[in-house]
Amino acid sequence: MGGGDYRGSSQIAAYAPSTPTRAELRPDVGGEVALYLVGKLAEKSGPIGSGVTWRVYRDQPTASGQLPLVEKASGGDLELRLQPGRYVVHASYGRAAVTRTIDLYKPVTSETLVLNAGGLQLAAVLDESNQPVSKDTEFQLYMVADDDRVLLGDIRAGAIARLPAGTYHVVSRYGGINAVRSADVTVDAGKLTRVSLRHSAGKVRLKLVRDTGGEALANTSWTVYSDDGQPIYERVGAHANITLAAGNYEVVAHHRDTEFRRSFTVKSGDESDVVVQATRL
């Protein structure tokens, strides 16, 4: 949300603004009243200390149909002084949010909003050695709804994603080519879920040489094919440093209108050179 007005959201339930009765007006209340807001991740968890974004709106729309924004703040608990009346309070914590309509006709009103949210932290490791590879890994997060998956966005390794409680699908891409792992994960309210996705992959350095132990030839065009014959990587240069899922491959090097081929195997955790011999140059 931005600006000073709110144009409506599926997170705020439809309502019909109502005029308080004479009894509700509490004529003994003069001036401003106090509103104390607390956010919690779950019913039985403690107050959230930081990271909550609070927005408070008057419940009477303007002529344009917008709810006027009265207060906006970020942090943990929030204490406000407001004129008596009816307000819409919206609290968000990452992707989790909750909204409540509150009547302020007492000198002091306290409200606790339960966001039903938790945290998700992702990492990636190699199968055999448990070696961390998160810095070379990208994670995508999907929301699972019935049989559909909706992309929510990328998650940085090690960062804590604040999410509504529920089931999510995570895709981990190590090296950016074909080393991919995925899993369904459950985020519980009030808890931090840590997930490590295990990759079976290795790193190879491709180079084309005239003679054994010679320098790599510049201006080489590389194409790597998977075991089923599909091209999965292309690059032009003297070297190609790539990460591949464990398996069998064929590499084709083009140099000065001549093609050179070699088959090779990648094992999990390996770091090796794949040297193609330019036998006809």
Query: For residue 225, what are the contacts with CB-CB under 8 A and spacing of at least 6?
Result: 231, 232, 249, 250, 251, 252
57-70: per-residue pLDDT in tens? 999 898 888 999 99
> Of all residues in the chain, what percent carry a pLDDT higher than 90?
78
Mean pLDDT, residues 234-257 taken together: 94
Q: Is the dihedral of CA 159, 10, 53, 1 positive or negative?
A: positive
In the chain, domain spans = 5-114, 117-199, 201-277
For 123, the 3-state DSSP assignment is strand
> In angstroms, rounded to a whole number, what is the distance separating the alpha carbons of residues 272 and 278?
19
12 has pLDDT over 60:
no
**75 beta partners:** 52
> In angstroms, rounded to a whole number, what is the distance separating the alpha carbons of residues 204 and 263?
13
Whole-number mean pLDDT of the chain?
A: 89
Could you write out the DSSP letters of every residue in 16-69?
Answer: ---PPPTTTT-TT--S-EEEEEEEESSTTS-B--S-EEEEEEESS--TTSPEEE
Would 117-199 and 201-277 be classified into the same CATH topology? yes
Name the pLDDT band for 203 (thresholds 50, 70, 90). Answer: very high
Given CATH 3.60.70.12, say whether it is the number of domain 201-277: no
What was the pLDDT predicted at 8? 38
Question: Could you tell me which CATH class the domain 117-199 is placed in?
Answer: mainly beta
pTM of the complete model: 0.80
Query: For residue 21, what are the contacts with CB-CB under 8 A and spacing of at least 6?
Result: none
Q: Give the largest CA-CA distance in the chain.
A: 99
46 phi/psi in degrees, rounded to 5: -80, 175
Virtual CA dihedral for 41, 185, 169, 113, nearest 10 degrees? -10
229 phi/psi in degrees, rounded to 5: 90, 5
Least confident of 4-8, 42-46, 181-185: 4-8
What was the pLDDT predicted at 2? 38
Alpha-carbon separation of residue 166 from 76, 116, 130 (angstroms): 23, 9, 28
> Which amino acid belongs to residue 80?
L
- The single residue listed with the structure tokens 């055999």 is 128
**187 beta partners:** 166
102 has pLDDT over 50:
yes
Alpha-carbon separation of residue 230 from 10, 172, 208, 242 (angstroms): 44, 21, 21, 17
16-39: per-residue pLDDT in tens? 444 455 444 444 556 899 999 999
Mean pLDDT, residues 94-109 taken together: 96
What was the pLDDT predicted at 71? 96
- The single residue listed with the structure tokens 């709810």 is 67
Least confident of 6-20, 126-140, 240-254, 267-281: 6-20
The H or E element containing residue 199 is strand 192-199
Selected residue with higher pLDDT from 117 and 26: 117
Q: Which fold has domain 5-114?
A: Immunoglobulin-like (2.60.40)
What was the pLDDT predicted at 11? 37
Closest CA to 112 of 136, 142, 89: 89
Are 192 and 183 spatial neighbours (Cβ–Cβ below 8 Å)?
Answer: no
